[in-house]
Amino acid sequence: MIEAKELSKRYGSHTAVDRVSFTAKPYRVTGFLGPNGAGKSTTMRMLVGLARPDSGEARILGARFADVPNPGRFVGVLLDASATHNGRSGRETLEIAALTMGLASGSVDRAIDRVGLSRKEAARRTGGYSLGMRQRLGIAQALLADPAVLILDEPANGLDPSGIRWMRDIVRDFANDGGTVLLSSHQLSEVDAVADDIVIMGSGRVTAQGTRDALTRDGSLEDAFFAATAEASREGTAA
């Protein structure tokens, strides 16, 4: 389970995240939806200890991420697919991650096969990867240890239509097997296609949340998303 409780983060006079609270549960995909700049990535960074909240707290599996022993074994994270060493191959990237987590060498081959990278592609340096290939490598690293929780920031970026269908199947199967998935996107259609629960962010705040069925049934899903997008557009114009 992922729990965010009244998380807030400021950068100077700018409030990036304002008292954000939500829960992501096992056996479910929670879509984290909002326009670019809504505060989704900052919230995710606070969840995994890469940014310190000014107030509030975040817990994963009942503890702060920093207090989870060998957290990569339990929490798979993809926040930036481009954050790889361009001089290393995809396989080397995964081998270093496996070594860091104390995983058996066979975990690398399983992860490569799971995300559909060929052996030839895995042997290439990541500096020559397309964004879609980087996304697949990042998801492979997140899945490397068969974690209980997946936190994925915009995992569909750069994927072609078949890759997007593959990504949806990956997260759906993961949740069906008892995992907890938090998946962010600025695309309403992407979240609507895969999520069980949806949290909508706008200007650093949660503007709506609930099950996908409930939000779709009463029309608040589209209303809240378009309102958040319109507000972000106004703020961008004002800036």
Tokens coding 125: 């340096």
DSSP annotation of 140: H
DSSP annotation of 66: G
**pLDDT value, residue 47:** 96
**Rounded to an integer, what distance in angstroms lies between the CA atom of residue 212 and that of residue 198?**
6
CB 180 within 8 A of CB 26: yes
Look at the block and give the residue holding tokens 């969840």: 47
- The fold of 2-74+147-238 is Rossmann fold (3.40.50)
Give the pairing type, strands 180-185 and 149-153: parallel
Task: Kindly report the number of other CB atoms within 10 A of residue 231's CB atom.
Answer: 16
- Chain centroid to CA 239: how far? 28
**pLDDT value, residue 239:** 42
Beta strands in 72-148 (DSSP E): 75-78
Give the pairing type, strands 28-33 and 180-185: parallel
Q: Name residues whose C-beta falls within 8 Å of residue 39's C-beta, 6 or more positions apart in sequence.
A: 9, 16, 17, 18, 20, 201, 203, 204, 205
Helix (H) or strand (E) holding 59: strand 55-60
pLDDT digits (tens, 9 = 90+) for 78-119: 998 777 888 999 999 999 999 999 998 789 999 999 998 899
**Closest among 145, 3, 9, 23 to 63, alpha carbons compared:** 3
pLDDT digits (tens, 9 = 90+) for 197-216: 999 999 899 999 999 999 88
**pLDDT value, residue 233:** 67
Which whole-number Å values give the CA distances from 143 to 5, 181, 204, in the listed order?
Answer: 26, 12, 29
**Closest among 14, 113, 112 to 54, alpha carbons compared:** 14
Note down pLDDT in tens along the chain; length 239 residues. Answer: 999 999 999 999 999 999 999 999 999 999 999 988 889 999 999 999 999 999 999 999 999 998 988 998 999 999 987 778 889 999 999 999 999 999 987 899 999 999 988 999 999 999 999 888 899 999 999 999 999 999 999 998 888 888 899 999 999 999 999 999 999 999 888 898 999 999 999 989 999 999 999 988 877 788 888 877 777 766 654 44
**pLDDT value, residue 216:** 87
Which whole-number Å values give the CA distances from 12 to 7, 18, 219, in the listed order?
Answer: 16, 14, 36
